[in-house]
Amino acid sequence: MELRDLVRPNIWALKPYSSARHEFKGHAEVMLDANENPIETGLNRYPDPLQLKLKGLIAKYKDISIDQIFLGNGSDEAIDLLIRIFCRPGQDSILITPPTYGMYRVSADINDVRVQEVLLDPSFELRPDEILSVAGPNTKLLFLCSPNNPTGNNLDKATVEYLIQRFTGIVVIDEAYFDFSNDPSWTTRLSEFDNLVVMQTFSKAWGLAGIRLGMAFASPEIIGLFNKVKPPYNVNKLTQNQAIQAFEGGLDQVTDAISMIVSERARVWKELQQLEETVKIFNSDSNFLLVRFKHPLEIFHTLREEGVVVRDRSSTPLCDGCLRITIGRPEENDRLLSLLKNMKF
Ligand SMILES: *Cc1c(COP(=O)(O)O)cnc(C)c1O
């Protein structure tokens, strides 16, 4: 693959904004370069545009190198930047495999980039040969989500690999939920494939949705393009500090939360299975269950009246009759289950 042939020409040629902090290397006694307020508050200086301290911790934890990491204002920023780096508005397209995460389409629509769709099969697996036959020379990005939202399952590894090897653009694997699955991350395969981008996030297993921090992992050449296009100070100092603190505080909190959620997922699964009202519960490698009910909308509205909110996915392709239920704390799951047990139709 020639990266240059895939990137928008204006982005390839772009001379990026060079921030004051970017240009400065070494020890500064007196910083009069960035028009900041000199009174120290801990936040009066611009943050590190490349977030090197935090990336150092992530690199060590994930066993990859710093120049393979992009950090953004949520994974949503990474999705938007990928589209802006690779897709010429009005000419190029992305390919998605519904039912899947909604932001790929929204970001493409915002950027006036066409969206091609190849549905998953009824067991929520990819249809690789249909994907390859629909993809044309202007199909720049293939978005795969594994474990997939809203279906919850990991995509078959051999099929994903088949696509990475044959798709002529960039394959993006969104692993927002990989911490809840037993499969290894695709980051372990980055060195084999120069057209692979893997996304993860601090929003789910890490319990830090509020700080807005997402990660993309790829070759240093692709990461260089992200760095060229991103707003210079896209990850603020509070966010960087909070994530650094999560690493320095030890990761027990994260691993404990993951085990609680995974064991509650099994319990809720078993209890939902007992209900007359349940038609099917799909296998989940994530922190939610996709459940097909006989009366999904009645359930959705009754739960809502009781102050319990779940996601209605019943009008999504292949998800008719389905609600998506996030696994909560044990007492929250109890409340959901007891409401469901007592519902009359
Ligand atoms: C929740 C989620 C994300 C996370 O997005 P952030 O912007 O990092 O919060 C990304 N991808 C999928 C599929 C998700 O469900």
- The mean pLDDT value for 50-67 works out to 97
Using an 8 Å Cβ cutoff, are 146 and 155 in contact? Answer: yes
Residues 6+ apart with CB under 8 A from 131: 95, 97, 118, 142, 163, 167
pLDDT surpasses 70 at 56: yes
Is the per-residue pLDDT at 29 higher than 90? no
What residue's CA is closest to ligand 1, atom 7? 74
**Chain mean pLDDT for the chain:** 96
Q: What is the mean pLDDT of residues 55-68?
A: 97
Main-chain phi, psi angles of 108, to 5 degrees: -65, -45
Instruction: Tell me what the mean pLDDT of segment 280-302 comes to.
Output: 98
Distances (CA, A) of 168 to 1, 5, 112, 189, 192: 7, 11, 21, 18, 15
CA angle 263, 210, 338 (to 5 degrees): 40
* Residue 250 pLDDT grade (very low, low, confident, very high; cuts 50, 70, 90): confident
Residue 24, pLDDT > 70, answer: no
46-to-69, 92, 332 alpha-carbon distances in Å: 21, 36, 41
Q: Judge whether 173 and 147 are in contact, CB under 8 Å.
A: no
298-342 pLDDT per residue, tens: 999 999 999 999 999 999 999 999 999 999 999 999 999 999 999
pLDDT of residue 16: 87
Report the alpha-carbon distance of residue 130 to residue 119 in Å, rounded.
9
Q: Is 214 in the pocket of ligand 1 (CB under 6 A)?
A: yes
Q: Is the distance from the beta carbon of residue 101 to the nearest atom of ligand 1 less than 6 Å?
A: yes
Q: Which atom of ligand 1 is nearest to the CA of 73?
A: 7
Residues 6+ apart with CB under 8 A from 196: 164, 170, 171, 173, 186, 189, 190, 218
pLDDT at residue 28, rounded to an integer: 77
Q: What is the pLDDT of residue 17?
A: 86
Closest atom of ligand 1 to CA, residue 213 = 8
Quick: pLDDT tens for 85-138: 999 999 999 999 999 999 999 999 999 999 999 999 999 999 999 999 999 999
Ligand 1 pocket test: pick from 76, 120, 151, 181 the residue with the most ligand atoms within 8 Å of its Cβ: 76
**Mean pLDDT across 250-265:** 95
Is the minimum distance from the CB of 80 to ligand 1 under 6 angstroms? Answer: no
**Cβ atoms of 170 and 82 closer than 8 Å:** yes
pLDDT digits (tens, 9 = 90+) for 149-205: 999 999 999 999 999 999 999 999 999 999 999 999 999 999 999 999 999 999 999
Q: What was the pLDDT predicted at 25?
A: 67
Among the ranges given (10-14, 17-21, 215-219), the one the predictor scored with the smallest mean pLDDT: 17-21
Calpha distance 6→85 (Å, rounded): 9
pLDDT (mean) for 15-42: 84
Q: Mind listing the domains of the chain with CATH numbers?
A: 3-248 (3.40.640.10), 253-341 (3.90.1150.10)
Q: What is the pLDDT of residue 19?
A: 75
Indicate if ligand 1 lies below 6 Å from the C-beta of 176: yes
| Cα 134 from Cα 143, distance rounded (Å) | 14
> How many Å lie between the centroid of ligand 1 and the Cα of residue 31?
37
CB 113 within 8 A of CB 93: yes
Report the distance separating Cα 78 and Cα 213, nearest Å: 10
